[in-house]
């Protein structure tokens, strides 16, 4: 005689007439209580609906508020997620040198104390003065002026207008103490390493030279020219925008010297062509001022190259046009400044006041307290 189903599940599933053996439950995996199960008895479901009916409006309102806040958080997290986390950078060490003789030290002390008369300064463009005062980059200042966030003497500033030392400037409601070139600027030499970028803003979060260098008090370090991430060597930074212009602008044709290691070698005819005729690149004709071989081991050859332009990856592209790939590129000189022999990778050296004065004289810039005579 067939056994009758004793439960709804057996009746639904068509229970077998054979009796099932009881299964022992493991003590390591306990079964969930029914209260946590996804199925509820009808009486509990009805009671839950009743409670929801009494407080549905309040509950829905709270849930809607949480959902909106969560949406804003998710959107902010998504925007933040587009930028890679910033890599931690170790601060660069300063190269310590022996003090010069007493006469040079006294001259340097006198130069640091000199000041120019602010009343004799010509008006300067607002965005240029704000950038020189350490508020932000010149491009940022142009955007802020366009957005109406900058005022001059109580009125909203206009892009391109000029200011003097007597003007009162506010940025986003904060009074800005403008910095003028009435004193000697600062100059530091940094031995840039491969893998570092010359930028303050990088979505990829790579190490920047500005993360490694000390902060300039009440001003900003500005790099004279750039080196790409795979190039090392001499990098000059200063607080003077005029000095940056004098070094980096193509019209001044300041020489840059590089040590280049390539796999292979150039022929005498190729070296002559690079110096006399030049090669045509994607962005125009590129010419080498001087080039000479510096030896090497095996297939690797070192060359010294001098150019007068600072186009993007120019040296690498010049050698690539001759069928050679650059495996190492080091800038060893820029204008009158050479890479110091004692300066190691990742170190910096700050020029003393006398050295800065010599650089300014080379750039035909006036020292504090000096004025050009007006031609009659």
Residues designated catalytic: 228
Burial class (CB in 10 A: 0-12, 13-18, 19+), 185: buried
Burial class (CB in 10 A: 0-12, 13-18, 19+), 329: buried
The strand pairing partners of 162, in sequence order, are 125
For residues 348 and 30, give the distance between their C-alpha atoms in angstroms, rounded to a whole number: 66
For residues 268 and 250, give the distance between their C-alpha atoms in angstroms, rounded to a whole number: 29
Residue whose pair of structure tokens reads 């607002």 in the numeric block: 126
Element holding 61 (H helix, E strand): helix 42-81
CB 224 within 8 A of CB 248: yes
Q: Give the angle 86-89-94 at the CA atoms, nearest 5°.
A: 150
Q: Residue 40 half-sphere exposure, CB side, CA atoms within 13 Å?
A: 10
Contacts of 19 (CB under 8 A, 6+ apart): 3
Token pair of 376, please? 């009659």
DSSP 182-242: -S---EEEEEEPTT-BS-S--TT---BHHHHSPPPTTS--EEES---TT-EEEEEEES-HH
For residues 304 and 294, give the distance between their C-alpha atoms in angstroms, rounded to a whole number: 7
């Amino acid at each position: 005689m067939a056994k009758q189903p004793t439960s709804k599940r057996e009746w639904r599933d068509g229970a077998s007439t054979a009796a099932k053996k009881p299964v022992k439950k493991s003590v390591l995996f306990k079964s969930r209580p029914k209260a946590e199960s996804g199925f509820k008895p009808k009486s509990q479901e009805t009671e839950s609906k009743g409670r929801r009916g009494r407080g549905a409006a309040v509950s829905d309102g709270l849930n809607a508020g949480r959902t909106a806040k969560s949406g804003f958080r998710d959107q902010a997290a998504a925007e933040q997620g587009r930028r890679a986390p910033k890599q931690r950078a170790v601060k660069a060490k300063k190269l310590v040198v022996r003090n010069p003789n007493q006469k040079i030290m006294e001259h340097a002390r006198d130069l640091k104390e000199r000041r120019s008369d602010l009343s004799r300064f010509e008006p300067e463009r607002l965005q240029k003065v704000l950038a020189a005062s350490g508020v932000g980059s010149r491009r940022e200042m142009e955007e802020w002026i366009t957005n109406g966030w900058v005022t001059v003497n109580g009125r909203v500033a206009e892009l391109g207008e000029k200011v003097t030392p007597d003007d009162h400037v506010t940025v986003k409601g904060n009074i800005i103490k403008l910095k003028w070139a009435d004193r000697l600027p600062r100059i530091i030499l940094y031995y840039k390493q491969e893998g570092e970028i010359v930028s303050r803003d990088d979505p990829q979060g790579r190490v920047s030279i500005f993360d490694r260098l000390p902060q300039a008090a009440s001003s900003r370090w500005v790099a004279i020219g750039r080196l790409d991430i795979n190039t090392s060597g001499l990098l000059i930074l200063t607080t003077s925008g005029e000095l940056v212009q004098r070094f980096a602008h193509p019209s001044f044709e300041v020489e840059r010297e590089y040590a280049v290691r390539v796999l292979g070698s150039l022929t005498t005819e190729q070296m002559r062509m690079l110096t006399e005729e030049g090669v045509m690149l994607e962005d125009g004709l590129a010419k080498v001022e001087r080039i000479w071989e510096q030896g090497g081991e095996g297939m690797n050859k070192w060359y010294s190259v001098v150019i007068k332009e600072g186009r993007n990856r120019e040296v690498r592209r010049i050698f690539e046009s001759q069928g050679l790939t650059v495996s190492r590129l080091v800038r060893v000189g820029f204008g009158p400044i050479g890479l110091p022999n004692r300066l190691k990778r990742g170190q910096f050296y700050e020029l003393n006041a006398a050295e800065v004065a010599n650089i300014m004289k080379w750039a035909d810039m006036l020292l504090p307290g000096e004025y050009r005579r007006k031609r009659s």
